[in-house]
Chains A and B, each alone.
Chain A
């Protein structure tokens, strides 16, 4: 089983719908991140959390919200999806000592029609 698991892996939805992407990890890491990847644009940080009570906005947080339900779980929500949120979303973790290495989930491909 993957150490960082994202669900769903693929989702097609319509404009205006609420969508939740979930991430769970078994690595025991404190730090969790949500990134978005668009073709040719690398990875952009949406939100990050250094522990259950610490949530921070990244560079592109507008239109998104997150919830850190437990050390191992970090969910990303799109309250009212729009077509330009169509992208590949990655959850990642890193440890407290923070060597800097990110461990990524397999990605969630979201299409908003």
Chain B
């Protein structure tokens, strides 16, 4: 079992819809959780992080964490074509290093 698994893609949604990206992790000692966005040919950039159970909202983005279920998700509301990218889930333990999932490629169609 991979340490961090993301829902298989690619994911395609129409403009204005909600995109839902999911991630599960295997290490119960994981303490912090991150979503990076990576445009094709570019480096990843952080869009959201979450440490505590529940929801965290930032503009059109909402991260959700459920440590009991070892599950973290990212919701993108009112999806725009500019949101088309690969989204990488990353999980950190006390060891101070990030383990990444394989990514989910999102396409938002106008």
**Chain A residues with a Cβ under 8 A of chain B:** 31, 33, 35, 40-45, 48, 50, 58-59, 90, 98-102, 104-107
Contacts and interface: CB of A to CB of B under 8 A. Distances in A.
Interface of B: 4, 32, 34, 36, 42-46, 49, 88, 90, 92, 96-103
A102 B32 CA distance: 13
A99 B102 CA distance: 22
A8 to B, nearest CB: 15
A41 B102 contact: yes
Nearest to B32: A100
B46 A102 contact: yes
A35 B36 CA distance: 14
Contacts of B92: 100
A104 B44 contact: yes
B49 A100 contact: yes
Contact of A100 (B34, B42, B88, B100): B34
B96 A42 contact: no
Contacts of B45: 104
Nearest to A2: B43
9 contacts: A42-B4, A43-B90, A43-B100, A45-B99, A58-B97, A100-B92, A101-B34, A102-B44, A105-B43
Nearest to A50: B96
Given A33-B97, A104-B45, A42 B102 contact: yes
Contacts of A90: 43-44
A107 B43 CA distance: 7
A35 B43 CA distance: 11
Nearest to A45: B97
Contacts of B36: 102
Contacts of A98: 96
Given A42-B88, A90-B43, A99 B99 contact: no
Task: Pick from A100, A104, A106 the residue with the most CB of B within 10 Å.
Answer: A100
A101 B48 CA distance: 9
A42 B44 CA distance: 10
